[in-house]
Amino acid sequence: MRAKASAPPTSLRPSRSTLEGLGDEDILTPNDLAVILKITPHFARRLFYEGKICGAFRVGSLWRICVKDVRAWIESERLPKNKEIFEIHRRIAEHEANRAPGKDTKARKKR
């Protein structure tokens, strides 16, 4: 009779769909990451395989990633977009401040 393979400890598996409550050194599977990011496990494995998420590693044929690497990847994806939006808003505010009040923005007609 074959012995059943034991499942990983439930304390390491995310019980919710967030990274809260997980330590930086905890290790996630593609299925765990899929639950957290609300993507399919296949897409999570593809992100690992294509190197889009740095820090993913293989144990035999199985992909794994540390929580700290997932957090770093999320921040790296988030920051550039926020910086671009901040820069756009800064330029608009600067443009508005440089416009003189009552000045007509249309080109003047030639006499």
* E strands in the chain: 27-28, 57-59, 62-66
Q: How many residues does the chain have?
A: 111
Helix, strand, coil percentages in the chain from 3-state DSSP, rounded to 5: 45, 10, 45
Token reading at 8: 């990983």
Res 80: pLDDT? 62
Domain locations along the chain: 13-98
Res 11: pLDDT? 46
Closest among 7, 5, 51, 4 to 32, alpha carbons compared: 7
Tell me the backbone φ, ψ of residue 65, rounded to 5 degrees.
Answer: -155, 145
Res 38: pLDDT? 92
Instruction: Answer for the pair 41, 65: CB distance below 8 angstroms, yes or no.
Output: no
pTM of the model: 0.56
Instruction: Answer for the pair 65, 48: CB distance below 8 angstroms, yes or no.
Output: yes
Token reading at 89: 């808003």
Res 35: pLDDT? 92
Instruction: Answer for the pair 22, 74: CB distance below 8 angstroms, yes or no.
Output: no
Write out pLDDT tens, residues 55-96. Answer: 999 999 999 999 999 998 888 877 666 677 778 878 888 888
Write out pLDDT tens, residues 6-55. Answer: 555 444 555 556 777 788 888 999 999 999 999 999 999 999 999 999 99
Write out pLDDT tens, residues 98-110. Answer: 886 655 555 555 5
